[in-house]
Structures are given as structure tokens and as C-alpha cells.
Amino acid sequence: MLFLPAAALCCLCSALVTMAAEQLIQDDLTLTRRVGESVSFSCGGTDQCDPREVFWYQKKETEKFRIFGYTVKRSGSCIFSKGYGHPQENDFSVEDEQNGCELKIEKVKLDHSATYYCKCYKEDSHICLTVRNSYFIFGSGTKLSVTDEQVVKPVVSVYPAASRAHLEGNSSLLCVASAMFPPLVQFSWKRQKKNGGEPEELPTAEGEQLELRESGRTIAIRMVDGSDSDTYKYSCWVKHEGGTVEAQTQQEVPAPAASCPPEREPADLPALQPADLSFQSQCRVKLLCLLYTVLIVKSLVYCCGLSLLMILTNKGASTNCTHAD
């Protein structure tokens, strides 16, 4: 009986991890339209929904999330259902697609500018204690901008953010995307060995990434595993509504040694301006603060879990003693 609370806690953690890993697919980060043009929003991965109803939410910058309807495919046809009291619900319709339904606005207006999220209901059974989970999964959102401004692809630059390993034998890379419209971008990384070979995707488990957004630019700091002795060339890929832009490091990034060699002076990076070096220092400080915060949160969660187990165990022991008396 003492292991029952621990087993229940493990099941709960497993369910939470499963929920965090699942997500509907909204490929379009942003969509830009002029007044009077049409726009469509897609939502992939709905085959995991039960039932196949996909709910749609609108989120404006100064307002809360508001549901305005849901789409469902019945007898091979897509249906848009409304009735949630949203003032713009009559502006939306639905289109049949091979893999599901697309939400559509026939003629956009300025007040349609917002971020649109899809959501669906899912049921999932776990062997652990025969727990049955019922929860919602969301898409990442698509931001619609109704404006006369032209879509402008980002200018991308990438270079080592540090001259030597600073954090547990890791190196860091800095990728800057600037001068784009709309301002939303998505970062990914590839690497290629010095002696050739095909470029390969940098797996998520290999490093940590921190993103910083400022006026006119977005920065991604990527931690790179230094355990491999090979030297790689790294490239940063920036996904944008105007297209995907690639930029490679101007310097090869060697895997750092196990020992801590002396720091190089900023003068060893001739391509960087003093303002860039100052910006890098700020980024490193923010990254360190983030890492320390994550460690503190992990410690608190661990302590809370132990405290819960002790309370439940003591409660069970007290109950047994009462029955014995």
C-alpha cells in the first residue's frame, strides 16, 4: 500500500508528459493580407482527435481567448458550427481539404488581425492503474496581419556566441534574424562535418535553445554538445512567411576540450563590433539566469513530490495504528 501513492504520482507525471508532447499542427506562423482579400487557416494532426471536432479560438493582443466556432467532417463534407456569441462568427466559413477542413475568411477586415488557434478533444487510456485521460490539445497558432505592408524576408547572421566552452563543456551559437515583416520567425539548426558529408538536423536533445525577441530582431542562442571531438560547420535556418533563409557560421566551431583553457579576448573575433559583443554578454547572462531558474524549479518539484509521499505514508501509518487500538 505504501507504493500506491508513488505509482499514482508516476502515472500522473506520465500523463502530463504525454499531454505536453502532443500538439496540433499549424504550419503557417503568420499570414499577411490586404483588406478585402481572402485567407485560410489549416490545422493538421486532427486524426488523433476524438471526436473529429476542431474548435477555433481568436486571440487579439489586448483581449482574452475567444471561441467562435468549430469545424467537423461528416459524411465526407466539412461543416462549420457557430453559436458562441462571437461578433465576427458570420465572417467565417469552411473549405473541404483532403486531410480535413480549413477555416476561411472570404474578405478580411482590419479587425480580423489576431492569432488563431485550433483545439480538439482527445481521450487516451494508460495501462498504469487503468487511468483514462481526457484532455484538449492545441495548435501553435497562426497570426493574421491585415495591412498594406509588404512581406519582407529576414536578414540572418550566425556566429559563435562564445570563444570557448563556458557551461559544462558546451559551446554556444548565436543566430540573429532582423529587418523582417511580419516579425515572427522559427529557428532550426543543421551541422556538417569538416571533412564533408551531408548536412544533418541538429536534434533537440543535443542542446538547449534560448530565444530573445527585441524590436526589429529575434535572436536564438543554441547550446552545442562538445563531447564529440570532430569539428562541425553549423547553419541556422529561419522559417518565415516570406520563405526560409539559411546562414552558416563564418568560423568553424570546434568541440571544446575537457579542461578549461584561458579565455580569448574579444579582439579575437574581428568580425564582431563592440555593440555585438555587449549584446552577446547580455545574452550569456540571461541564459545563465534561465539555466539556474530551471534547476531551482526542478529541485522544488522534487521536494514537493517527496513531501507528498511522506504525508501519504504517515497518514497510512496513523490509520493502521488507529485500527490496531
Boundaries of every domain in the chain = 25-146, 155-259+279-287
For the purposes of burial, counting CB atoms within 10 Å of the CB of 227, is it exposed (0-12), middle (13-18) or buried (19 or more)?
exposed
Report which of residues 2 and 317 the model is more confident about: 317
Q: What is the pLDDT of residues 258-299, one digit of tens each?
A: 444 444 444 444 444 444 545 555 666 666 667 767 777 777
What secondary structure letter does DSSP report for 207?
Answer: -
Q: What is the pLDDT of residues 295-316, one digit of tens each?
A: 777 777 777 877 787 787 776 6
Q: What is the pLDDT of residue 20?
A: 45
Report which of residues 324 and 292 the model is more confident about: 292
As a whole number of angstroms, the distance between CA 288 and CA 284 comes to 6
Tell me if the domain spanning 155-259+279-287 has CATH number 1.20.1050.10: no
| Torsion from C-alpha of 12, 16, 22, 26, nearest 10 degrees | 150
Q: What is the pLDDT of residue 90?
A: 95
pLDDT band at 66 (very low <50, low <70, confident <90, very high): very high
H or E segment to which residue 299 belongs: helix 274-324
Q: What is the pLDDT of residue 215?
A: 86
Q: What is the pLDDT of residue 280?
A: 57
Identical topology for domains 25-146 and 155-259+279-287: yes
pTM tops 0.85, yes or no:
no
Q: What is the pLDDT of residues 38-60, one digit of tens each?
A: 999 999 988 888 777 899 999 99
Name the superfamily (CATH) of residues 25-146. Answer: Immunoglobulins (2.60.40.10)
Q: What is the pLDDT of residues 187-205, one digit of tens each?
A: 999 888 877 778 888 766 5
Q: What is the pLDDT of residue 132?
A: 58
Q: What is the pLDDT of residues 209-226, one digit of tens each?
A: 889 998 889 999 888 766
Q: What is the pLDDT of residues 125-182, one digit of tens each?
A: 554 545 556 788 999 999 999 999 999 999 999 887 654 445 556 778 889 999 999 9
Q: What is the pLDDT of residues 90-125, one digit of tens each?
A: 999 999 887 778 999 999 999 999 999 999 988 765
Those residues with Cβ within 8 angstroms of residue 50's Cβ, 6 or more apart along the chain or in another chain: 121, 122, 123
Q: What is the pLDDT of residue 127?
A: 46
Does the structure show a pLDDT above 80 at 19?
Answer: no
For strands 100-105 and 39-41, give the pairing: antiparallel
